[in-house]
Structure 1
Amino acid sequence: MRFHVSFAESLRQLQKSDDDFAVLFEHGSMRGIIFGPDEIDGQEPHIQDEIYLVIRGSGEFELEDKIVQVGVGDFLFVPAGATHRFRNFTADILLWVIFYGPEGGESE
């Protein structure tokens, strides 16, 4: 079972991806990804709960009708089904994302 993913390896996986995210780890219903949104974060609500950890950059995060400033080290929780997105973020923003909940949930 894989239990360690380095930051360098996660960046390599993201650079190889055709998307703005790369799946780094999966176990049961949990999925860990690295996410670097493009100029516009066009996320749709997900069927799983998720946690974001900001590892680089800054910006604003909108969850339903609330907006907060986010930066390196911040933790964000998004319940399944909630409308959310990053906005006005720096070009270098990078996030760890952990999805968990119902089996077979989709990440992006």
Structure 2
Amino acid sequence: MTIAIAKLSDPTVRALVTAINDNDRAAFHALLTEGATMSDDGSDRDLEQWIDKEIFSSRGHMEVQTESDGGRALIANFRNETWGEMRTAWRFTVENGRISRFETGQA
């Protein structure tokens, strides 16, 4: 079962998922703090390179299955044109309405 984006609990995470699904790089960046960081499968990655490759140049898309931690932890089916679809976990650190870190990986 998929959770409609509009029903996601955390407004910042909801906006980020919307930006991903709309392939809206500017909206995505507007939601990040200066110096935001991320990791993929437990390894820190260069945020700009990662989001370009995994989200924007490959048309990434999230279908959220579950949320916890007030909407800051998601399980989602994530797909892009490079890897196809996979079940992924996402955890977001939100500070003052912006994301300072996110961690993702296979779930």
- Higher-Rg member (1/2): 1
**Bigger proportion of residues as helix:** 2
TM-score, normalised via structure 2 length? 0.30
